[in-house]
Amino acid sequence: MSRTIHESIESLVQALEGVVRVADDRVEILNADVVRSDLIEQLAWTSTFGTGDVQDSARWLIRKIAFAMGAYPASIQDLYMASARGEYHNVTTPAINVRGDTVEFAGTIFRAANATGTKQLLFELAKSENGYTQQAPAEFASSVFAAAVKYGYEGPVMVQGDHFQANPKKYAADPNAEIEAVRKHAIAALAAGYGNIDIDCSTLVDYSVSDLREQQYPNSKHTAELTAAIREHQPEGITISVGAEIGEIGTSNSTVEDLIAFHEQYVEELAKYGDNLDGVSKVSVQTGTSHGGVVLPDGTIAEVAVDFDTLGKLSTAAKELGIGGSVQHGASTLPEEAFSKFAQVDAVEVHLATAYQNMYLDSEHFPSELREQIYAHLSEAHASERKEGMSDAQFYYKTRKNCFGPFKREMWSLPDETKAAIYAELQPRFDLVMRELNVANNGDLALKYIKPVDVYVPRQQRWLRPPGGLGADPGLTDSTKRKHRSHICMRAVSHYTSSVLHPLREAKGMNGAGLGEENPPNSTYRSRGGSI
């Protein structure tokens, strides 16, 4: 495993020699074995811990190499529309949050997918997770694409923005600014290669009024507004899958009446932005779970009772409205025997996160010294989150998701044998979930509807001209610029960086070392001897 972080374009170019040839906006794979065994690891480390033009170039190379090797960024939209039309049933997509050591964690999921014949899966991070894991969309997507290449996965690579959420307190203070922040984050995600965005304005549902339409109106209005923004910026040839949410996870259970009240107004609002805009492909509902589960004083997780009957009714109602189906959040801590029930009631998607985080951090192979450092950091940095009467086990369980950003480099740098032992414990769990949700041995279903599209990805202009074809961009014709719309997204990222991030770093005295250019402004960084 190569853990090289390139610091110059010249160094990056030398690493490509005899392995990958770049000509204009295309790449040719000269030695696939070396790409998988060495080069892609160098590019991933540079994408994550590099800076400036070299970091951006590494990310461009990862995208182009992945496509050339059969791992293509994709949207699940067409598959879910087939579900809405009743063309398949009883198959539930796992959407897995990858919070740390992303290449190896996602690589373990890809290994499970290869072993089970699975092509229908989503890799996701919530908007808040982009912050506390210190993985901006461009970094996260690049790591997932690199993992697909490294572990020989071929097929759709579906990266998803989970809970692109409006914060109710910030919304109350300045509604336009908060919705604009979500819009900019979505555009940055599209530029990074995300094919799927879950909008979450369920936080704005107004339960102070009794009328269901009035309750859901802020949710419907802003979900439609953000859907239109995504449609404006989605790349040519791909319809981004947009998800909605009608009930905030951890609150009272959703009803069919809630769904209808939301959707009727959503359709009305979306029509204001243009004719025949594609709407949402799925809707997240609440049926009894909470994110991360409920931890007891001894550190164990309380049993959760999911109302599968309600979940099934909501999925049926969604399909009748032309939506792919219902989505369940907060399910990873459920017992193994529960997962098959999601497919049985025809839920279209289930989100899984905390249980896998727990398995990673609690593994007997995870270094105890590093775990102690993490807990010491949490005790100091997150002391305000300790509630009265909370045990240490409860406190660390609730806060340890915040360790993935500050200890990113330590986790990436664990010895190969340590990682192998940890992920050997995780892969069987991924295998099981894929089988129970009926995506295993069902890859042909996904491939029938999800086709590769070679999306234009702008690359850095500052390339050298060594032998072998690596040269400066010849420039795009006006017709090409009209054909490919993803460059609009890249300009938005550049504006976001210059107008928001750079002033933020200067205000906080950050030197930016090891940070991606698009790290979200709510990220918390700390310097620990050069580590992130």
Higher-scoring residue by pLDDT: 50, 507: 50
Closest CA to 76 of 112, 123, 130: 123
Q: What is the pLDDT of residues 438-471, one digit of tens each?
A: 999 999 999 999 999 999 888 765 554 444 444 4
Q: Are residues 66 and 78 in the same domain?
A: no
Number of compact structural domains in the chain: 2
Q: What is the pLDDT of residue 330?
A: 80
CA–CA separation, 63 vs 143, rounded Å?
10
Place of tokens 């997240």: 284
| Residue 520 placed within a domain | no
Closest CA to 206 of 191, 220, 192: 220
Residue 228 has pLDDT above 80, yes or no: yes
| Residue 159 placed within a domain | yes
Determine which of 290-299, 356-365, 495-504 has the lowest per-residue pLDDT on average.
Answer: 495-504
Q: What is the pLDDT of residue 336?
A: 82
- Could you tell me the sign of the dihedral formed by the alpha carbons of 326, 330, 336, 338, in that order? negative
Q: What is the pLDDT of residues 314-325, one digit of tens each?
A: 999 999 999 999
CB within 8 Å of 369: residues ≥ 6 apart: none
Q: Are residues 27 and 159 in the same domain?
A: no
Q: What is the pLDDT of residues 348-382, one digit of tens each?
A: 999 999 999 999 999 999 999 999 999 999 999 99
Q: Are residues 129 and 188 in the same domain?
A: yes
| Residue-by-residue DSSP string for 63-90 | HHHHHHTTEEE--SHHHHHHHHTTS--S
Higher-scoring residue by pLDDT: 287, 34: 34
Q: Are residues 130 and 268 in the same domain?
A: yes
Contact 225/180 with Cβ under 8 angstroms? Answer: no
Contact 20/32 with Cβ under 8 angstroms? Answer: no
CA–CA separation, 166 vs 174, rounded Å?
11
C-alpha distances out from residue 429 to 308, 318, 401, Å: 22, 30, 20
Q: What is the pLDDT of residue 532?
A: 22
Long-range Cβ contacts of 33-40 (<8 Å, 24+ apart): 35/65, 35/69, 35/149, 36/149, 36/150, 36/151, 36/152, 38/2, 39/2, 39/15, 39/65, 40/65, 40/146, 40/149, 40/150
| Residue 406 placed within a domain | no
Please compute the mean of the pLDDT values over residues 504-524 and round it to a whole number. 36
Q: Are residues 22 and 124 in the same domain?
A: no
Contact 223/203 with Cβ under 8 angstroms? Answer: no
User: Which structural domain range is residue 299 located in?
Assistant: 72-363+426-449
CB atoms within 10 A of CB 89: 13
C-alpha distances out from residue 221 to 108, 205, 216, Å: 39, 11, 9
Residue 219 has pLDDT above 90, yes or no: yes
The predicted model scores a pTM of 0.86
Q: Are residues 305 and 269 in the same domain?
A: yes
Q: Three-class SS string for 138-151?
A: HHHHHHHHHHHHHC
Higher-scoring residue by pLDDT: 154, 306: 154
Quote the DSSP letter at residue 531. B
Please compute the mean of the pLDDT values over residues 284-306 and round it to a whole number. 62
Q: Are residues 118 and 264 in the same domain?
A: yes
Contact 291/249 with Cβ under 8 angstroms? Answer: yes
Helices (H), 163-291: 168-173, 175-192, 212-233, 256-270
Q: Is 109 exposed, middle or buried (0-12, 13-18, 19+ CB in 10 A)?
A: buried
- Could you tell me the sign of the dihedral formed by the alpha carbons of 356, 361, 364, 365, in that order? positive
Q: What is the pLDDT of residue 120?
A: 98
Q: What is the pLDDT of residue 458?
A: 83
Q: What is the pLDDT of residue 76?
A: 98
User: At 191, which CATH number?
Assistant: 3.20.20.70
Q: Are residues 167 and 50 in the same domain?
A: no
Please compute the mean of the pLDDT values over residues 24-30 and round it to a whole number. 92
Helices (H), 93-174: 102-116, 127-132, 137-150, 168-173
Q: What is the pLDDT of residues 482-498, one digit of tens each?
A: 344 444 344 444 443 34
| Residue-by-residue DSSP string for 370-431 | HHHHHHHHHHHHTGGG--TT--HHHHHHHHGGGGTTTTHHHHHTS-HHHHHHHHHHHHHHHH
Residue 86 has pLDDT above 90, yes or no: yes
Quote the DSSP letter at residue 303. P
Q: Are residues 287 and 309 in the same domain?
A: yes
Strands 349-352 and 326-328: parallel
Q: Are residues 56 and 80 in the same domain?
A: no
Quote the DSSP letter at residue 38. I
Q: Are residues 466 and 324 in the same domain?
A: no
| Residue 523 placed within a domain | no
| Residue 9 placed within a domain | yes
Q: What is the pLDDT of residue 299?
A: 55
CB within 8 Å of 149: residues ≥ 6 apart: 35, 36, 40, 62, 65, 66, 69, 71
Q: What is the pLDDT of residue 302?
A: 55
| Residue 496 placed within a domain | no
Report the chain's terminal Cα–Cα distance, integer Å: 20
| Residue 488 placed within a domain | no
| Residue 129 placed within a domain | yes
CA within 13 Å, CB half, 493: 24
Q: What letter represents residue 126's amino acid? A: A
Q: Are residues 224 and 236 in the same domain?
A: yes
- Could you tell me the sign of the dihedral formed by the alpha carbons of 476, 478, 483, 485, in that order? positive
CA–CA separation, 294 vs 282, rounded Å?
26
